[in-house]
Amino acid sequence: MPAPADTLILNAGGLRSLVALAGHRAAHDRKPALLYVHDGRDADQPRFEHAHRQADFFGIAKLHELKLPHLYGSRIQRAADGAAVSPLSTPQLLLAAAQHARRLGANSLIWPAARGHDPAGLALAAEHAILVQHLIETEPAADDATNPDAPGFRILTPLLELTPPQLLQRGQRADANFALAWTCLLGQPSPCGACAGCRTRRRAFDTARVLDPLEPSPVAA
């Protein structure tokens, strides 16, 4: 039976998940565990498929799953109409993922959030991570109770300050295969090119001057 992974990575099948996974594999010998959360968003099927592809590509035999459809669900549509998504969704996600990591024996959780140059977004994400880590620390795992030298649990955000182009550059350095990442917000069989996720992805690839393997190749004149 393989030894438990030291690290659990939240993986939603997107670019951030891919870059976090590629970077971790480039820097560590041990394979991490991966956790996909069915959070109620429309593009669940293609995101889940791409999370599986990322796991397979890096030789990770199992993709763990949590079903938390209440996190977003129909709130996505209401957010598009101008209503705010619940500010508690992210802490709930992190707390559930951290608890799952502890059950697997991992001592760290990688949350592949990226907020770029958004000061408010950076501050809020950091607050969420600190809050959830504090909550986890108030309930030590069984191993911690029997072993006072056991490492404390950590929530890591290695991509937090990266902009989308910087994220791609980080991925290139880690030899990330960008065809394995799905960022379209709609559950269509191919990227729509019009949703916020597709537009952000296209701008990032254009700015970083990187070819997006999910974009159709230009036709030669």
Q: Domain for residue 52, yes or no? A: yes
First-last CA distance in the chain: 57
**Among 179, 80, 72, 202, which Cα is nearest to 194's?**
202
* Stated length of the chain: 221
Chain segment 6-18, per-residue pLDDT in tens: 999 999 999 999 9
Q: Domain for residue 127, yes or no? A: yes
> Other C-beta atoms within 10 Å of 31: how many?
18
User: CATH number for the domain including 120?
Assistant: 3.40.50.620
Q: Domain for residue 219, yes or no? A: no
**Among 111, 110, 96, 100, which Cα is nearest to 141's?**
100
Chain segment 34-59, per-residue pLDDT in tens: 999 999 888 999 999 999 999 999 99
Q: Domain for residue 218, yes or no? A: no
DSSP classification of residue 180: G
Q: Helix or strand or coil: residue 165?
A: helix
DSSP classification of residue 28: -
Q: Where on the phi/psi map is residue 206: left (φ > 0), alpha (ψ -120 to 50), or beta?
A: alpha
pLDDT at 220 over 50: no
pLDDT at 126 over 90: yes
Q: What is the pLDDT of residue 72?
A: 80
Cβ(211)–Cβ(59) below 8 Å = no
What distance in Å separates the CA atoms of residue 114 and residue 127, rounded to the nearest whole number?
A: 14
Q: Which domain holds residue 46?
A: 7-208
Range of lowest pLDDT (83-87, 104-108, 187-191): 83-87
Q: Helix or strand or coil: residue 63?
A: strand
Report long-range pairs for 119-125 (Cβ below 8 Å, ≥24 apart): 122/160, 122/161, 125/90, 125/157, 125/160
Question: Per the structure block, which two tokens stand in for 147?
Answer: 């072993």
**Among 204, 121, 120, which Cα is nearest to 170's?**
204
Q: Domain for residue 23, yes or no? A: yes
Q: Domain for residue 216, yes or no? A: no
Question: Per the structure block, which two tokens stand in for 167?
Answer: 């994220």
Q: What is the mean pLDDT of residues 121-138?
A: 92
Cβ(11)–Cβ(55) below 8 Å = yes
Q: Domain for residue 1, yes or no? A: no
Q: What is the pLDDT of residue 152?
A: 80
Residue 4 CA: distances (Å) to CA of 57, 66, 73, 178, 206: 20, 18, 32, 28, 40
Q: Domain for residue 215, yes or no? A: no
**Contacts for 120 with CB less than 8 Å, ≥ 6 apart:** none
Domain count, the chain: 1
